[in-house]
Amino acid sequence: MPPQESTEKVAEEQSSFSRSTSKVRDFFSIPAPVKQLFDLVPVVTYPPNQLPLRAPKSARIPSLYVFSKDQDAAAGRPSFNPSCLKWQTFLNIAGVDHRLISSNNHSSPTGSLPFLLPAIYGPNSSQDSLVPITSNKFVKYAIEHGGKVEESSSMRYEAYQSLLDHRIRNAWLYTLYLEPLNFSAVAYPLYVLPTSSNPLVRASISHQLRSAAEAELLKNTSIIDTDDLYSEADKAFEALSILLGEDSWFFGSDKPALFDASVFAYTQLLLDDDLGWKEKKLCRALRRRANLVQHRERLLVRYFGGS
């Protein structure tokens, strides 16, 4: 029975091979008596230590980290940062229950707010629940967690979104950070004062903010032309106004969607008198479009209790 013999031989070889590999493994693994010793300790294990007082209280709902004042965050009022406000509004529209946490860019995994921290159920939750969800995954998250999400598939959607992301955003950056009157009246108290009480730190952060805004604007042009920025924004508002027309929501939808939230992110902040705008060119351009003003009112009443 030669074939059997050879298989036996092969088996033998295999077993000797596995024996030698297990020897190698044994060399690196913990010897049995030591393993037994390790299993004995710790002899006593007490309940975990209490967390420090500043640690946020764990919640059963996810936490949305945004730029906000502490008391506004607790009351769920609109964030003062457009991209935070866009996603805050989106989550409200989608009906994803969340709490707001006032924070800053340093806490974010991407270096900018907002992000969502999933709900934590007790101290035994898995490590995954600590990994934050960045804003580009919010739509997916909302769908997965039973949110009502209207997907706008219109071809025109992209074009109008780019109006917001470029023309209006550029004018926004200019009017907030580079108009000196607005910077000291609006941006400074919102973005700089909460960081530190130290005047040197505040001066340094002010400088960083302004130069970051300038660098962002200079990405596409070689010089910053104020009139051009404002007139482009004016045209963009005009286009949005025409798009909305007599409808309640954009793209003739019967319910608001992400695009409505994107528009609201700017219209809410430009029309909010509490922010104390000093140079109001951009605000006036928006106020001339009555249907956009009404659109903002509609969302504010419906999702933020009209405050």
Residue 302, SS3 per DSSP: helix
Q: Which of 232, 261, 89, 265 is nearest to 163 (CA)?
A: 232
User: Binding of other proteins at residue 201 (CB under 8 A)?
Assistant: yes
User: Binding of other proteins at residue 33 (CB under 8 A)?
Assistant: no
Sheet (strand 63-66) strand order: 99-102, 63-66, 115-117, 133-134
Residue 123 or 306 having the CB closest to other proteins: 123
- Cβ burial of 81 (10 Å; 0-12, 13-18, 19+) is buried
User: Binding of other proteins at residue 212 (CB under 8 A)?
Assistant: no
Site for other proteins in 144-163 (CB under 8 A): none
- Give CA–CA dist 9/12, Å, rounded: 5
User: Binding of other proteins at residue 180 (CB under 8 A)?
Assistant: no
- Give CA–CA dist 144/35, Å, rounded: 44
User: Binding of other proteins at residue 44 (CB under 8 A)?
Assistant: yes
User: Binding of other proteins at residue 130 (CB under 8 A)?
Assistant: yes
Residue 56 or 95 having the CB closest to other proteins: 56
Tokens 């130290």 locate to 198
Q: Looking at the chain, how many residues does it have?
A: 307
- Cβ burial of 298 (10 Å; 0-12, 13-18, 19+) is middle
- Give CA–CA dist 53/98, Å, rounded: 22
Q: Of the ranges 18-26, 89-97, 193-201, 215-223, which one interacts with other proteins (CB under 8 A)? A: 193-201
Residue 36 or 162 having the CB closest to other proteins: 36
- Give CA–CA dist 292/302, Å, rounded: 15
- Single out the residue of 45, 71, 153, 222 in contact with other proteins (rule: CB under 8 A): 45
Tokens 């040197």 locate to 200
List the structure tokens of 14: 């295999």
In the complex, minimum distance from the CB of residue 173 to other proteins, in angstroms, rounded to a whole number: 22
- Single out the residue of 6, 14, 15, 37 in contact with other proteins (rule: CB under 8 A): 37
Site for other proteins in 94-123 (CB under 8 A): 101, 103-104, 106-109, 117, 120, 123
In the complex, minimum distance from the CB of residue 68 to other proteins, in angstroms, rounded to a whole number: 14
User: Binding of other proteins at residue 52 (CB under 8 A)?
Assistant: yes
Binding residues vs other proteins (CB under 8 A): 30, 34, 37-38, 41-56, 58, 63, 65, 101, 103-104, 106-109, 117, 120, 123, 127, 130-132, 195-198, 200-201, 205
